[in-house]
């Protein structure tokens, strides 16, 4: 449902609307609108929210982080190896953790929702 509302919204660094959104603003919005939880605005701040978990323990709603570029990348795990995120290339989309790009750049996961 949330994906349908945001699907194909373009990526915009520093953006926080349907006119363009970046990855950390997107995760912040999902947490606020779907879980009524406030998390920090930036990827580097979101890295320390919650409890770090192993990739093998991922559950829907967990934050997944990647070492990409200077500021990193964040998305939210869905299920079956898939996560939702605001991609610099395709905008808001669903991707596979195990695709070649994301499997190489995977960094860590944080559980925010108990």
Looking at the annotation, which residues are catalytic?
23, 73, 85
Q: Which segments within 1-114 are labelled E, that is strand?
A: 16-17, 20-21, 51-53, 63-66, 73-77, 82-87, 91-96, 106-111
For residues 35 and 57, give the distance between their C-alpha atoms in angstroms, rounded to a whole number: 20
End-to-end CA distance of the chain: 22
The answer to whether 63 and 112 have CB atoms below 8 angstroms apart is yes
For residues 31 and 24, give the distance between their C-alpha atoms in angstroms, rounded to a whole number: 11
């Amino acid at each position: 449902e949330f994906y349908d509302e945001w699907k194909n919204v373009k990526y915009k660094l520093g953006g926080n609307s349907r006119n363009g959104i970046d990855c950390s603003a997107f995760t912040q919005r999902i947490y606020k609108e779907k879980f009524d939880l406030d998390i920090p605005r930036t990827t580097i701040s979101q890295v320390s929210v919650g409890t770090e978990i192993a990739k093998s323990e991922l559950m829907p709603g967990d934050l997944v982080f990647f070492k990409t570029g200077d500021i990193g990348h964040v998305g939210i795990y869905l299920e079956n190896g898939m996560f939702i995120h605001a991609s610099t290339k395709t905008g808001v989309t669903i991707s596979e953790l195990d695709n070649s790009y994301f499997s190489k750049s995977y960094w860590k996961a944080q559980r925010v929702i108990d």
